[in-house]
A and B are shown apart, each in its own frame.
Chain A
Amino acid sequence: MRKFRYLLYKDYLLLKRDVAGLLLMFLMPAILVVLMALLQESTFQSIADVSVPMMLVNHDKGELGSTIDREVEASGIFKITRDIDGSIPTLEELEKEVASSRYVIGIYIPENTTESIRRNVARYVLATFSGATDLPPMDNVNFVVFVDPTTKASFYATIMSTLKEKTQKIEFTYIMNEITRQVNEISPIPISTLGFAGEQVHIDIRDARLQGKDLVPNPVQHNIPAWSLFAIFFVVISLSGSIIRERQDGSFSRLLTMPCSYTEYLLSKAFTFIVVCLIQFGLMLLIGVFVMPLFGLDSLNLGTSPLALILLALSAAVSAIGYGIAIGNIANTYHQSSVFGAISVVIMAAIGGIWIPTFIMSEPMRKIGMLSPLHWGLSGFLDVFLLDAGVRAVLPECGVMLLFGLVCFAIAVSFNYRRRLDV
């Protein structure tokens, strides 16, 4: 343990003296994130103009279904398809369509929705007027909204929320009107529906946080996680560089002649750079919350689960560090590692949706993008920032990133073993 402290001390000092590396790891992402958010502010407005392919399945013959259809159409964001070769799909068929990425969003309005709601309201009105204190049982009215899992990563989550809110508003208004109408039929005294709470008719408005918020995709919510990940992955250059420099200046060999194993050497490096990644991440969050508003941008909304954020940041750090260690061991020179490291991170960022949302990409590109650990990281962060996802919801994303890191690590170790010992 005491030995390990000296290794950490070494890595700390080496890092501290690597001014260029520090600037690259801390200053560059900070500047980049502010710049990109400012540049993209306008882009995001125009992305909202892009027609998002949506399938809207309306089995309801009544008023409510057609109102929702009309409103969604009127929002102008969606390119709506309503049938498959002339026939109206079932719930399962709709799910399949969306899952296969032909549509980004699918809305399912079940049969007799208008009828069920009308019946529920009638029951409620009757019960109230007959003096019952308990609410009578209600028919379930379930809209289903499917989101293509591969686009979840982008800010589609936001669009989905907008949509949900919109349909719920329509539903709510409709119920209000229905109540007023039915009550006025029974009672000669006109009543007002003010103060009537939605919950009483089981309109389950989830994501209460999103209520009343402007849910237009916002560059801060997208850029902070995107560039935090980019920053985390940029430690690859400094990390692989330090491994190569130590190999070249012979200090690495010297360490191995001492009571210090290769594993200890790597662990110390990994630990040092995980701390770097976490500091970077914290810095980016601070920029999102406090600096962005100074530029007239929105402040970052951190979601509700700090634990999920930490977990995601740690997993991203592990995958970046695994990757950095692999490059440090495979590249022969500092030049190779920095050029290859930078370019490969930029490519992974691009296909992972750091610059442009993945939904704009073509289907094959989107599939390729899933190879990038940044894609998973971004998907996880957006879930937390936009959908208030908790730890459980981001475990798959964390899992993929950890796996990526460990595979890289294993490759690095076996590569190093053979090169170092010349076997």
Chain B
Amino acid sequence: MENKFAIETVNLKKTYKGKSHPTLNGLSLRIPYGSLFGLLAPNGAGKTTAINIICGLRKYDSGKVFVDGHDQSDGMKAIKPLLGLVPQDIALFPTLTAYENLKILGGLYGIKKSVLEERIDQLLELFDLSASRHSYINRFSGGMKRRVNMIAGMLHAPGILILDEPTVGVDAQSRMMILEKLTEINRSGTTILFISHYLEEAEHICNEVAFMDDGSVICQGSPADLIRAYTPCDSMESIYLKLTGKRMRDTQ
């Protein structure tokens, strides 16, 4: 059978050590090739945990993870070059300049020096950071850091790009810009897994979304299909609230 999913998790379970409640409780996520996939869930629902597991940063208790058809339990070697991760928290070397950061991170993917330098220039230009390329990361504003953080995840032009809340703490202009770039990147063939709290954002750019709560997917489909299925709800936000209720999740 041909593999249709860029990322597929099957009945993934994970309980952190010292926790009584499972964080992932049978998560089955299917992200088709070429999609711009929105994963939407309340705080503490386990989105970051799921991503960390997919990227091999955490072990899971049971279930299966496939990336581009590779079973993750066979090792990360084949998977790592395919994935580009833009983590929720800035993950850069603060005492290095933007350029140094990108050069080192890109270098680790084994990209040839000349190709890498050109790619860095392009991306810095694209995200409007060319002027501050030689400034230290710890002198950057929050929004600038976010953008460098994002570039770092796509230096090697990965087939699958995972973004964990990339637009948090970013002003409206930058957010528009980021969303626009993501759509562009997606159109050029990259599968994108996009995690966000801004539902209208997801509704706007995603061609498929999944709602997650209590460690598993509660519904999945294209925004249009979902709105149709959940009439009288007329937006992602109202569906989301209807499905997940108004209770706060990360306090439990």
Contacts and interface: CB of A to CB of B under 8 A. Distances in A.
B108 A255 contact: yes
B59 A10 contact: no
B219 interface: no
A251 interface: yes
A48 B110 CA distance: 62
A103 B55 CA distance: 63
A3 B58 contact: no
B32 interface: no
Contact of A249 (B90, B105, B152): B90
Given A257-B56, A258-B108, A422-B17, A14 B87 contact: no
A288 B110 CA distance: 45
Interface string A241-255: 000001001110111
Which of B55, B77, B83, B104 lies at the interface centre, i.e. has the most chain A CB atoms within 10 A of its CB? Answer: B104
A258 B155 CA distance: 11
Given A6-B104, A17-B95, A258-B80, A253 B87 contact: yes
Contact of B57 (A13, A251, A420): A420
Contact of B56 (A3, A13, A256, A423): A256
Interface residues of B, number: 31
A259 interface: yes
B241 to A, nearest CB: 31
B93 A14 contact: yes
Interface in A293-311: none
Contacts of B83: 257
A421 B59 contact: yes
B56 to A, nearest CB: 7
B224 interface: no
A260 B108 contact: yes
B152 A254 contact: yes
Given A249-B94, A253-B57, A422-B59, A9 B104 contact: yes
B95 A14 contact: yes
Contacts of B92: 249-251, 254
B95 to A, nearest CB: 4
A70 interface: no
A254 B85 contact: yes
A257 B72 CA distance: 13
Nearest to A256: B57
B91 A251 contact: yes
Contacts of B80: 257-259
B58 A421 contact: yes
Given A3-B107, A254-B87, A257-B83, A17 B57 contact: no
A7 B89 contact: no
Nearest to B97: A13
A250 B95 contact: no
B59 A251 contact: no
B4 to A, nearest CB: 24
Interface size of A as a range: 20 to 34
Which applies to chain A's interface (DSSP): helix, strand, loop or mixed?
Answer: helix
Interface in B26-82: 52, 55-59, 77, 80-81
B203 interface: no
Nearest to A259: B80
B198 interface: no
A200 to B, nearest CB: 69
B237 interface: no
Contact of A257 (B57, B89, B100, B104): B57
A207 interface: no
Contacts of A251: 91-93
B56 A250 contact: no
B109 interface: yes
B87 A250 contact: yes
A213 interface: no
A204 interface: no
A18 interface: yes
B83 to A, nearest CB: 7
Contacts of B107: 2-3, 5-6, 9
B90 A250 contact: yes
Contacts of A422: 16-17, 58-59
A9 B100 CA distance: 9
Given A17-B95, A249-B90, A251-B93, A10 B56 contact: no
Contacts of A257: 55-57, 80, 83, 85
9 contacts: A7-B104, A14-B93, A249-B90, A254-B85, A254-B91, A257-B85, A258-B109, A260-B108, A422-B17
Given A18-B95, A258-B109, A260-B108, 17 more contacts: A5-B107, A9-B104, A10-B93, A10-B104, A13-B93, A17-B95, A249-B91, A249-B92, A250-B87, A250-B89, A250-B90, A250-B92, A256-B56, A257-B80, A258-B80, A421-B58, A421-B59
Interface of A: 2-3, 5-7, 9-10, 13-14, 17-18, 246, 249-251, 253-260, 420-423
